[in-house]
Structure formats: C-alpha cells, structure tokens
Amino acid sequence: MITKHTTGPVAERIARIGNQFAISGEFLYGEELCNGHINTTYRACYRDEDGREERYILQRINDYVFKDPAQVMRNVEKVTRHITWKLLRRRQYAAGQTLTLYPARGGRNYINLPEEGGMWRCYNNIESTHTYDVVENTRQAYQAGYAFGSFQELICDMNPEDIKESIPDFHNTPKRYANLLASAEADVMGRRARCEKELELLRGWEDKYSRLIDMQQRGELPTRITHNDTKINNVMLDEETDDAVCVIDLDTVMPGLALYDFGDMVRTATCMAEEDEEDLSQVYMQMPFFESLAEGYLDAAHDFLCPAEVENLAFAGWLITVEIGMRFLTDYLDGDRYFRVEKPEHNLIRARNQFKLAQSIEKKLPAMQRYIRRLMKSYK
C-alpha cells in the first residue's frame, strides 16, 4: 500500500528528514510505503535545477527490533560496498544493481533524529521496478532464486567475522521454540487457549528443530554472510521483463547459514497465497514454483555451496516455514509487539497459515530433494 502526501504534517515530516541527507533540489511530495512489517519507510521526490525529478527512499530503523541500529548500518555499509567493488572488478556494475546509501549531515550514512523517532537513512530509489508480495508464475520464482543466489555469490568471499549479529539467534529454531514455550507458559495476554492445537502440532516436530544448528556446530555447514529475509518482495524486478534487478532490505544481513536464505525463499516463493490468507485450502506448496526457484538459485550458487548445504536445501524450506510460524505465534501470545498487525488475531492467522504450508512442504520433501540432486548433476 502506498499513501501519497503533497501537503500536511506527513509531507512536512518527510521534507524535514530528507533535508538531513545529501539530496539536492526542491521537495515535491512524499509517499508512505506501508508494505513492510518492521521499519517506517517513505519515498521522497525532488526536482533539481534542470527540471529532472529524482526519488529517494527514507527509512527509520526500528530500534525495538534492532537494538543497535548503528551496528545494522555498519553491516549494510560493508555489504553494499563489497558488492559494488565486486561488480566494478567484473565490469558488471550498473546504477541500480545494489542499494546505495546517501551521506547524512555530519558525515555518516545515517543520522539520529530523536524528534523524528530515531535513526534514519537514505537509499537510492530503484526506478522502473516493482515487487510482488506473492509469486504469480514460475518465471518470477526463477528470478527470485537467481537474485538471492547471486547476492550470496557476491558476498561469499567476505569474512563472516567482519559482520556482526543485528538480532542474536535470529535463525536459531530451537531457541525460537523455547521462546514460544516460555510465552505460552506466561500467557500474559490470556490467548493461549486459542492456540493449543498449534502448540500440539509443534510438539510433534520437536526432534527436527536442531538439525541445522547441530550441523553448523559440528563444522558440517559453513557459516556465511547471509541476507536472512529472502521474501519475494525483497527482490526488485524490472517492470517490463520481470528480470531481477536488485536485492533490498539488508537490515538482517549477518552471519548465518545459506540454507536459511534458501529456506525462506521456499516459504515465500512457492505458495500463491499471502502469509495471512485465512482460507487454508489455498495454502500449499506448488512443485513447479519450487523447481523454478531451485533452478534459479543453483544457476547462481552451485559453485560455492558445499555438498551438505545442497543436501539440506529442501529440508531448510520446511524448517524455516515452521520457524516463521513459531515467531508469529510467539508475537501473538506476547501481545503483537514485533510484527505490525492490521486486524484482530492477525499473528495467529499468520501462524496457522505457515503451519499449513509446512505440512504441505513436508509431504513433498522427497520429490524436492530428488529434483535438487538432478539439477546438481546438470552442472557437472
């Protein structure tokens, strides 16, 4: 959803914030972009002295979610600079291929504005592109897979120790489950009675939650720098061709497993229902979308993945879907403090949706794994 403001308090606020960054020209209007769960985002349009209009993204970092916004920005700066360096070295760089941070007053790429709610940054607006909240066809699934596979390939030579955790244990499924059980026990909002069925379902899967974490601790899965929020709507696609142009939303870039990124793509790019669809008969994983997603991802990433990563790609799709469902359910029990909600029991609806999708993925895991193995043979 986009709300446009040319006058009034919101427009004045956008203009004030934009004035803190290296933006030239006359402020024309601002748009509020309301399609994210976490940060406050505006798009501001300016006209320069030659009459050209340029648009910029202004974004406030949610300091409830990200306890150290300055560290988030240091991570983003390192990753975007490395990607730009890599593309320039390959003579592949073109404007719009990666996010570019604009300097703020004071010399940094961000600025703390307590009177405007906290820390703000300014990005380039990736023009002539759009996003999808749900995948509509196999071509889009392929492009999403290729975009995030390429993103991982561009940063696979970075040292994970150079990037800090912005949210500790972000993809630690056993801890997510422990947090959920603690919230269910506390039941501070008196909501547990409405989700006993979901809690019972999760108890039946308990023995699977630590699989990837255990493999990482044994050194079987390498720690890499990963995106950690690989939803389909975090890929900007060309308006005319639907080709992937740029990966966005880098706040959760931190050390992790490549499998988490692929798993979240399976969750968001293989089901045509939105994650708050209440008609659960519409919620299921579609194999043609998975096949296109896997093909796009492996076309970009097959060279650097190790055998253990490849063997667990399909499982990761199931695990991350369950984990996200846990997070929605935990937030529901805690009183909807993390995810933005738009209707009563929104997070419970989301959780039920994700658990239904996980059940669908679970049934198709053998076929998913067979397809991945067949793809990997084609690269030899």
Q: List, for residues 319-355, the tens digit of each pLDDT value.
A: 999 999 999 999 999 999 988 899 989 999 999 999 9
Report the distance separating Cα 6 and Cα 12, nearest Å.
9
Stretch 368-379: mean pLDDT: 96
pLDDT: is 192 or 131 the higher one? 192
Is the separation of the CB atoms in 224 and 258 below 8 Å? Answer: yes
Closest CA to 53 of 123, 125, 104: 125
Token representation of residue 346: 């929104």
Report the distance separating Cα 166 and Cα 254, nearest Å.
7
Stretch 75-83: mean pLDDT: 94
Token representation of residue 111: 């600025």
Tell whether the model's pLDDT for residue 35 goes beyond 80.
Answer: no
From residue 46, how far is each of 33, 161, 213 by CA, in Å? 17, 39, 47
CA geometry: angle at 45 spanning 43 and 47, to 5°? 165
Tell whether the model's pLDDT for residue 91 goes beyond 80.
Answer: no
CA geometry: angle at 195 spanning 229 and 184, to 5°? 80
Question: Which pLDDT belongs to residue 372?
Answer: 97
DSSP labels, 310-326: HHTHHHHHHHHHHHHHH
Q: Where in the chain is the domain with CATH 3.90.1200.10?
A: 138-378
Stretch 295-311: mean pLDDT: 96
DSSP H/E element including 300: helix 287-301
Question: Residue written as tokens 């690989």?
Answer: 230
Instruction: With cut-offs at 50, 70 and 90, classify the pLDDT of residue 158.
Output: very high
Report the distance separating Cα 359 and Cα 356, nearest Å.
5
Question: Which pLDDT belongs to residue 6?
Answer: 66
Question: Residue written as tokens 């509020």?
Answer: 32
Question: Which pLDDT belongs to residue 167?
Answer: 87
Report the distance separating Cα 284 and Cα 356, nearest Å.
7
Instruction: With cut-offs at 50, 70 and 90, classify the pLDDT of residue 96.
Output: low
- Summarised one tens digit per residue, pLDDT across range 229-277 is 998 889 999 999 989 999 999 999 999 999 999 999 999 999 999 999 9
Question: Which pLDDT belongs to residue 132?
Answer: 86
Dihedral sign of CA atoms 155, 160, 162, 166 in order: positive
Question: Which pLDDT belongs to residue 340?
Answer: 85
Instruction: With cut-offs at 50, 70 and 90, classify the pLDDT of residue 95.
Output: low
Domain 138-378 has CATH 3.40.50.200: no
Report the distance separating Cα 155 and Cα 225, nearest Å.
7
What percentage of the chain reaches a pLDDT higher than 70? 96
Q: Which residues touch 151 (CB under 8 Å, ≥6 apart)? A: 83, 227, 247
Instruction: Return phi, psi of residue 22, to 5°.
Output: -75, 65
Tell whether the model's pLDDT for residue 186 goes beyond 80.
Answer: yes
Report the distance separating Cα 253 and Cα 285, nearest Å.
26
Dihedral sign of CA atoms 171, 329, 276, 360 in order: positive
- Summarised one tens digit per residue, pLDDT across range 114-126 is 999 999 999 999 9
**Amino acid making up residue 22:** A
Is the separation of the CB atoms in 41 and 57 below 8 Å? Answer: yes
Question: Which pLDDT belongs to residue 99?
Answer: 87
Q: End-to-end alpha-carbon separation of the chain, Å?
A: 45
CA geometry: angle at 323 spanning 76 and 212, to 5°? 80
Instruction: With cut-offs at 50, 70 and 90, classify the pLDDT of residue 4.
Output: low
Question: Which pLDDT belongs to residue 200?
Answer: 98
